[in-house]
Amino acid sequence: MTTEVPGRTTGRRRRPPLLPLAALVLLSAVAACSDSGKQADTVPSASPTRAAIGPRDLVGAWESAQPGSNTTLAYRFTEEGKYKYVGLLSYPMGAEGTYELTHIAEGTYEASADALTLRPRSATVTRKNPENPEQDYTNSPAPVDTQHYQWTIADRKLSLIRQDGTKFVFTPVSP
């Protein structure tokens, strides 16, 4: 595909607008928790067919990566009420390489039977664009806004629903 400019055609490909995809990564607030020095991952304890019964069911690592998607989101929740989130947007840019946008946040969480509040203490964004490397950045500060979700676990899937109705579905990461 070529980009048409009045009076000429260039050989550069049109790229999908990055703002909506970047906003997904930056605003989704999916978190993978600090493990406080522990190395073992825990798989959430929800049974395959029952809904979550309490905040302890959140503990563990969760990932959302759809086949064919350029976005992966992951959270880790600890028993101590901490979380860490990693969001990665990545897509090939032909011979130039791969575009990557990574959002990392960590902080504390509070969960009740159906409400989840994430309070990030720190958040950063890193961008790598092989077509425009002079504007790349590493660990640039990102907003640390409190986020609110409704949550459920059913059939070994964690669903997080933002107040605007956007739903994210995660599966447990095997140890």
Whether this prediction's pTM lies above 0.75 is answered by no
48 neighbors 122 (Cβ within 8 angstroms):
no
pLDDT at position 68, please? 84
Q: How far apart are CA 32 and CA 172, in angstroms?
A: 11
Residues 6+ apart with CB under 8 A from 137: 125, 126, 127
DSSP 8-state class, residue 23? H
Predicted confidence (pLDDT) per residue in 19-60, tens digit: 333 333 333 433 333 233 333 333 444 434 445 556 788 999
Tokens (6 digits) for 126: 């890193």
